[in-house]
Amino acid sequence: MKIAVIGAGSTYTPELLDGLLDRLAALGIERVALHDIAPERLEPVAAFCRRLARRKGGEAAAGAGAIVHTTDLGQALDGARFVVVQLRVGGQAARSADIERCLRRGLVGQETTGMGGLAKALRTIPVIAGLALEIARRAPDAWVLNFTNPAGLITRAWLRLGHARALGLCNLPADLNAHCAAALDLPRERVRLDYAGLNHLSWARRVLVDDAGGGAAADRTAAAVERLAADPERCRRALGFAYPREFLAGLGAIPCGYLRYYYATAHEVARLRAAPRNRAEEVLEIERELFAWYADPARDEKPPALAKRGGAGYSRIAAGLVSALCDDRPVREIVNVENRGALPDLPDDAVVEIPVLLSRRGAEREPLRPLEPPLRALVEPVRAYEDLALAAGLALAEGDPAAARRLAIQAAVVHPLGPDAPEAPALIDEILSAAGPRP
């Protein structure tokens, strides 16, 4: 079996490989092909990955052909059974510009939420369109595991472009599961979440604790909410913001960390403006440290700085998805997947973040109850925004910038974190100008 990693010059790649190495024998992985358009990033990452593989699995794991790297996309994709996509079109420089452009206007500039997410999507979807054509030629039956942000919207792009075997990955549900387990003083393996929403706009609607003796699961949502709300610092670590007890108790669900941008917008904009540097600038400094580590031929262990890079648990999630999709026994995972009736109050073609049963047969959805009114009130406008943003990105891919501009302006105004109508055209013009022409 061959796995292709597109965007392998990312500093995340050793984290991904580390998870795959633990499953090489069980999965029958014979080759990992690392691809990037930037050889100056790809080569040190690939060399480090081989050293890491040799340390963990011996010469067989790192020998000739086991881990290859290339700037030739076709060579990377040929015969791949899985394609992991972790692109950042424009790099951290574009991310930094997105953040500052939004903050100047008093808007959230985060790269997946609000107008930062729109800017990133408009840069990325045209590139995804070209990549989808190449995958259709070189690896038509491959699963695409998308880790490119904004994950839900980019997964929708894969599906709209005809690649039905596409799933979006996000570490947030697993992180929230761990925080809920810690709040209840339980091992995370006994806790599972009734989880629903869109990527980075999702909630744990119930916290279920499996009976150690095999009995029915107990609903411990109220206890988890109470323990999080009672400790502001624990609440901030788990949910990104120290919510008032009355709000969490009234909501009746536990919000993922990115909902703070919706529930505490003014606070978050002020916090981002007051920071001495934005997140992209922080990541650039972390990446300099990581690349220095990767370039050192004496290093063959994951660097401590990787924990500061974000995306904790990425390797476990990605490797777990590969394992599940190769097995006959279904495994429950929370992923970004086409709705197809799972949430009855959303369209079939919406990409939702929900638990599914993954196996060799694909992703099996179970019927879920409708979203509660406070949740649906946020999901509906953001889902409508995603419709417009996806159409704008595809218009750019098709060479119709006028249509893309018109659709992007509407997307910006529809989004709860977007600008008012009079300010939207100037913002979109700046975003499109910065994006420039794309293949």
- Asked whether residue 127 is assigned to any structural domain, the reply reads yes
Please tell me whether residues 52 and 116 are part of one structural domain.
yes
Please tell me whether residues 144 and 14 are part of one structural domain.
yes
CB-based contacts of 170, cutoff 8 Å, min separation 6? 151, 199, 200, 317, 335, 336, 353
314 as an active site residue: the answer is no
Prediction pTM value: 0.94
Please tell me whether residues 135 and 14 are part of one structural domain.
yes
Please tell me whether residues 180 and 81 are part of one structural domain.
no
- Asked whether residue 11 is assigned to any structural domain, the reply reads yes
- Asked whether residue 26 is assigned to any structural domain, the reply reads yes
- What are 147-174's pLDDT values in tens digits? 999 999 999 999 999 999 999 999 999 9
- Give the pLDDT score at 215: 75
- Give the pLDDT score at 438: 45
Average pLDDT of the segment spanning 187-214: 93
Domain range enclosing 188: 173-274
- What are 361-376's pLDDT values in tens digits? 999 998 999 999 999 9
Please tell me whether residues 258 and 290 are part of one structural domain.
no
Average pLDDT of the segment spanning 137-155: 96
Please tell me whether residues 222 and 88 are part of one structural domain.
no
Average pLDDT of the segment spanning 408-413: 98
Cis peptide before 370 (omega within 30 of 0): no
Please tell me whether residues 127 and 248 are part of one structural domain.
no
- Asked whether residue 368 is assigned to any structural domain, the reply reads no
Q: Which helix (H) or strand (E) holds 144?
A: strand 143-146
- Give the pLDDT score at 62: 56
CB-based contacts of 17, cutoff 8 Å, min separation 6? 32, 49, 52, 53, 67, 315
- Give the pLDDT score at 439: 37
Q: Is the pLDDT of residue 120 over 60?
A: yes
- Asked whether residue 332 is assigned to any structural domain, the reply reads no
- Give the pLDDT score at 311: 61
Whichever domain contains 118, its CATH number is 3.40.50.720
Q: What is the mean pLDDT of the chain?
A: 93
* Domain count of the fold of the chain: 3
Please tell me whether residues 78 and 30 are part of one structural domain.
yes
Q: Is the pLDDT of residue 65 over 70?
A: no
Please tell me whether residues 64 and 156 are part of one structural domain.
yes
Percent of the chain beyond pLDDT 70? 96
CB–CB of 307/315 below 8 Å? no
Strand runs labelled E in 233-326: 254-255
Catalytic: which of 12, 195, 243, 258? 258
Last residue of a domain, one of 217, 240, 274: 274
Please tell me whether residues 97 and 195 are part of one structural domain.
no
Please tell me whether residues 265 and 408 are part of one structural domain.
no
Please tell me whether residues 14 and 155 are part of one structural domain.
yes
Average pLDDT of the segment spanning 96-120: 95
